[in-house]
Amino acid sequence: MTEATVEVATKPRRARREGRTAFFLLVPAVVVVLGVVGWPLVTTVLNSFRRVESALPKAPKPFVGLHNYAYILSDSDFWNAVRNTLYFTFFNTGLELILGVGLGVLMFQPMRGRWLLRVAVILPWALPTVVNAAMWRYYMNADYGPLNAFLVQTGLRQDYYSFLGSGTSAMNSVILVDVWKNTSLVAFFVLAGLQVIPKELYESAEIDGAGALRRFWSITLPLLRPVLAVVLVLRTIEAFKVFDVIYVMTRGGPASSTTSLALYAYKTAFSDQLFGIGSAISLVIVLFCLSLSLFYIRALGGSMGPEQS
Amino acid sequence: MSDLFSSALSRRTFLSGALAVGAGATLAACSSSGSGGSASSSPSAATSSAAGAATGTINALFMKQAGYSEDHVRAMTTAFQAANPGATVNLEFVPYEALHDKIVAASAAGTYDLVLVDVIWPAEFATKGLVTDITDRIPSTWSNDVLAGALDSGLYQGKYYAVPWLLDTKYFFANKDMLTKAGVDPASLGTWDGVTAAAQSIKTKLGMKYPLIWSWPQSESVICDWAVLTASMGGKLFDDNGQPAFTAGGALQALEFMRKTIVDGITNPSSTQSAEDDVRKVISAGDAAMGLNWTYMYAAANDPKQSKVANQITISPVPSGGSGQISVNGSMAMAITSGAQNPDAAWAFAEYLSSEKLQEQYVTDSLPIWKASYDNPDVVKSAPDVVAAAKVQLGQMVNRPQVANYNAVSAKLQEAVQKALIGDLPVQQALDNANTEVQKLLTA
């Protein structure tokens, strides 16, 4: 009884002291977040309701209400960018998840040279996106690309193929290049997830006569669900914002067939100097990402946090 | 407690994560004002436009491709600094494709004093206040001494916004050895019909897959080539009142011609992804026989260090499509930004770079803007073929329209032209669609 009274008496004071320390420790981070994320976000929201046609701060910025939003909704290029972005996001994330799980499981297997495999898998991810994109643009060049030389010399193709020459082919090439780079991330998440699955489950399943496939479907996949959920959210949002790989490889061409929403926002703002409309497009991207996250959090329910696993 | 904490954390973390991630796509960080650039101010600069007296730091933005090479611009800068011990010049080079957006993005912060601008940008930059009016600084003698195509590259609504520097236009390049082997008379290349006939001969007789290579990517380059073909076929992209005129006549005919060369298998389909420098590379590798390009390709493609077909590449005025050998004005000029910390020194540097004597030293990179240079025997001797072609071509150039939102208009055209080129849409329909979009932009 006395013990309990003491605890009740000291807890608020300690909590207050800790709270103050925590506050001071958090201040720098809060300032940085407000300055780097908050302020630009507020400015972007404000600009999306104004006509802003010059990058100079002193330029006039008349309020135009919802005009910028009305403009983009009636703009065929905007809808083209939406279609491209959805296509990119769906196939990019889907391929990365499937290949990433396979690669993660492979890396988990006890075998000789496993460290070498793990190093090889992390390498693409360690490359800067711009370097990766520039490298593949060169590999895929229709006139002097090594990939074409390889395909022709090994007899897989009769002649050089213009990977970035037509809309569908260019889009699929860009997706593959991004998958090549980012599958590693998924694979390592999966690898980390696999390491906390108790070995006993596999052992008893094996004793019960479950084959490798059955063990994968009934043990590995369900227990990987929390990890996969996190990766899915991360990669979907990343893919939805895709910019650099497209900017470097195709600049949105041919005929705007690879223009993503982020690239379209950039072009509108900086090439056409329509910052108000560019801001509106950016906010649409933010809204898309927000609703996607909310959807995932609801759909995947309890599997987000470690507490339910 | 721990349960509650972690589930709240996971949800909140994902929400704020999504916010942060989304904010990465917002633009305000780049468009809001920043603290000034690194340029130091110079109290004496106000009185010092005379050579040798420029002081302070000049931050300048140039281009990596075509025109003067990076090495040569650095050499010119060293010479300027030697003559102006009080001045320091910081040079930065970016590819042409990045130049416009870099100028825009850096404008609020005043990062650069002097920027290289394309002939199609002064209208936009002047309207939006990114560059300064330098009409008062331009000596009156220049209107007589400088070629109009160059001087006018900085002109918008009667005022000068840039110092002329790179006088350039597209020329026609051909591999003379390949022509000879295929039995093609070089004189037949004076018309586009002659060029397609020559390409067919080279294709069949030399077994070359695609004798023609062009710079037709989704960028300004494709508009340049289309403008050349349109003018040579007697058409206009925009009429004299600045209204679209590209849905009929020469412009339509030109785009049909472009598409046909792809369908007929004489144009390399990779042209729709090639920039000017890819054209240079492909021709230099001996993988194509003919193409259009800027002046710089002549020296580069004939240089044994950079080319497998050195000394085989000829330069000539562009072929005629029935209405003359007309090319496109691709000049570039140097503008002093409105945020410049050191405008006087920037002017002195620009004036030095465009001076007659200096330009005559680097004739093989780019031809001088000065009329007198073309009669200077030293200049003619150092680049006889280029000067001969230039004498014809520089007098016959068309300008692209000078509208404030040229970039947006051009982007619509680029998309339409590409759709037609890769066969997504019939030529007429692609142009009609573009017309609707462009009209919308012009009336907005």
Q: Which of residues 229-248 of A touch B (CB under 8 A)?
A: 233, 237-238, 241, 243
Provide DSSP, chain A: -HHHHHHHHHHHHHHHHHHHHHHHHHHHHHHHHIIIIIHHHHHHHHHTTB----SSTTS---B-TTHHHHHHHT-HHHHHHHHHHHHHHHHHHHHHHHHHHHHHHHHHS--TTHHHHHHHHHHHHHS-HHHHHHHHHHHT-TTT-HHHHHHHHTTS-SS---TTTSHHHHHHHHHHHHHHHHHHHHHHHHHHHHHTS-HHHHHHHHHTT--HHHHIIIIIHHHHHHHHHHHHHHHHHHHHT--HHHHHHTTT-STTTT--HHHHHHIIIIIS--HHHHHHHHHHHHHHHHHHHHHHHHHHGGGGSGGG-
| Region class of A210: left (phi > 0), else alpha (psi between -120 and 50), else beta | beta
CB proximity A254 to B under 8 Å: yes
Please, which contacts does A8-14 make with residues 24 or more away whose CB atoms are closer than 8 Å? none
A window 56-85, beta carbon within 8 A of B: 56-59, 76-77
Residue B285 DSSP SS3: coil
pLDDT at A56: 87
The answer to whether B422 contacts A165, with C-beta atoms less than 8 Å apart, is yes
Q: Is the pLDDT at B49 greater than 80, yes or no? A: no
The domain ranges of chain B are 53-168+330-391, 171-328+405-443
Of chain A residues 88-117, which have a CB less than 8 A from chain B? none
* pLDDT of B52: 62
Tally helices (H) and strands (E) across chain B: 19, 12
Query: How many CB pairs (< 8 A) connect A and B?
Result: 202
What pLDDT, on a 0 to 100 scale, did the predictor assign at position A303?
Answer: 52
Torsions phi, psi of B323, nearest 5? -120, 25
Q: Which residue of A has its CA nearest to B110?
A: A56
When CB atoms are compared, the residue of B33, B274, B405 closest to A57 is B33
Nearest residue, CB atoms, B107 vs list A55, A250, A252: A55
B-chain residues near A232 (CB < 8 A): none
* CATH architecture group of domain B53-168+330-391: 3-Layer(aba) Sandwich (3.40)
* A158 in contact with chain B, both atoms CB, cutoff 8 A: no
A212: distance to nearest CA of chain B, Å? Answer: 33
CB spacing of B23 vs A37 below 8 angstroms: yes
Q: Across the interface, do A279 and B282 touch by the CB < 8 Å criterion?
A: no
Q: How far apart are CA B334 and CA B336, in angstroms?
A: 7
Q: Contact A162/B270, CB-based, under 8 Å?
A: yes
Q: What CATH number labels B171-328+405-443?
A: 3.40.190.10
Of the candidates B19, B33, B273, the beta carbon closest to that of A142 is on B273
Mutation target vs B (from A143, A240, A285, A307; most B CBs, 10 A cutoff): A143
CB atoms within 10 A of CB B369: 26
> Of B18, B30, B97, which is closest to A251 when you measure between CB atoms?
B97
Alpha carbon of A261: minimum distance to chain B alpha carbons (Å)? 10
Nearest CB neighbour to B28, from listed A43, A253, A262: A43
Q: Provide, as residue numbers in chain A, all residues whose Cβ is less than 8 Å from the Cβ of B3.
A: 307
| B3, B7, B21, B32, best to mutate vs chain A, most A CBs in 10 Å | B21
Tell whether the model's pLDDT for residue B33 goes beyond 80.
no
Which among A142, A238, A255 has the least Cβ separation from residue B270? Answer: A142
- Confidence (pLDDT) at B443: 81
Calpha distance A145→B38 (Å, rounded): 41
Task: Please give the backbone phi and psi of residue B327, each rounded to the nearest 5 degrees, phi first.
Answer: -115, -175
A122: exposed, middle or buried (C-beta count within 10 Å: 0-12, 13-18, 19+)?
middle
Residue B47: per-residue pLDDT: 38
Positions in chain A whose pLDDT score sits under 70 = 1-11, 300-309
- The CA distance from B436 to B444, in Å, is 12
CB neighbourhood size of A92 (10 A): 24
Q: What is the mean pLDDT of residues B29-44?
A: 37
Closest CA–CA distance from residue A123 to any residue of chain B (Å): 24
> What pLDDT does residue B34 have?
34
The C-alpha torsion from B339 through B69 and B364 to B99, rounded to 10°, is -50
| Residues in chain B within 8 Å Cβ distance of A47 | 27-28, 31
- B chain contacts of residue A251, beta-carbon cutoff 8 Å: 97, 217-219
φ/ψ of residue B204, rounded to 5: -80, -45
Q: Which residues of B touch A265 (CB under 8 A)?
A: 25, 27
pLDDT tens profile A46-98: 999 999 988 888 888 999 999 999 999 988 899 999 999 999 999 999 999 99
Residues 6 or more apart whose Cβ sits within 8 Å of residue B360: B368, B370, B373, B376, B378, B379
Residue of A nearest to B406 (CA): A272
CB < 8 Å to A77, chain B: 415
Q: Which of residues 197-226 of A touch B (CB under 8 A)?
A: none
Cα of A253 to nearest chain B Cα, Å: 6
Could you report the predicted ipTM of this complex, rounded to two decimals?
0.79
Contact A271/B17, CB-based, under 8 Å? no
Q: How many angstroms separate the CA atoms of B434 and B410, rounded?
A: 10
Tell me the per-residue pLDDT of B271-322, one tens digit each, with 9 for 90 and over. Answer: 999 999 899 999 999 999 999 999 989 999 999 999 999 999 999 999 999 9
Among A57, A166, A290, beta carbon nearest to B18? A290
Of A164, A274, A306, the CB nearest to B273: A164
Of residues A47 and B2, more confidence is placed in A47
Task: List chain A residues with CB under 8 Å of B438.
Answer: none
Task: Output the pLDDT for position A295.
Answer: 85
The CATH number corresponding to A50-308 among 1.10.10.10, 1.10.3720.10, 3.40.50.1100, 3.90.550.10 equals 1.10.3720.10
What residue ranges do the domains of chain A occupy? 50-308
Which residues on A lie below 8 Å from B19 (Cβ)?
37, 41, 286, 290
Q: What is the predicted pLDDT for the residue at A293?
A: 82
What 8-state DSSP symbol labels residue B240? Answer: T
Mean pLDDT, all residues of chain B: 87
B58 forms beta bridges with: B89
pLDDT tens sequence across B333-388: 999 999 999 999 999 999 999 999 999 999 888 889 999 999 899 888 888 999 99
Given B270, B281, B285, which is nearest A165 (Cβ)?
A: B270
Q: What does the pLDDT read at residue B365?
A: 82
The whole-angstrom distance between B128's CA and the closest CA on chain A is 5
Summarize pLDDT for B116-160 with one digit per residue, the tens. 999 999 999 999 999 999 999 999 999 999 998 899 899 999 999
Q: Which of B209, B217, B269 sits opposite A162 (nearest CB)?
A: B269
Check whether B82 has a pLDDT greater than 60.
yes
Task: List pLDDT tens digits, range B156-203.
Answer: 999 999 999 999 999 999 999 999 999 999 999 999 999 999 999 999
Angle between helices B343-353 and B70-83 (to 10 degrees): 120
What local confidence, expressed as pLDDT, does residue B22 receive?
Answer: 40
Six-digit token string for B355: 């001076």
Two tokens at B73? 């611009």
Residues of chain B positioned with their CB less than 8 A from the CB of A306: 6
Helix ranges (H only) for B182-302 are 192-206, 220-232, 249-263, 276-284, 296-301
Determine the residue type at A168: T
A124 inside 8 A of chain B by CB: no
pLDDT of amino acid B326:
95
Q: What is the pLDDT of residue B1?
A: 37
Contact residues on chain B for A56, CB-CB shorter than 8 A: 107-108, 128-130, 338-339
DSSP state of B246: T
Q: Do B407 and A273 touch (CB under 8 A)?
A: yes
Q: Do B216 and B421 contact (CB within 8 A), yes or no? A: yes
pLDDT score, position A306: 47
Say whether B171-328+405-443 and B53-168+330-391 share the same fold.
Answer: yes
> Smallest Cβ distance to A40: which of B28, B219, B282?
B28
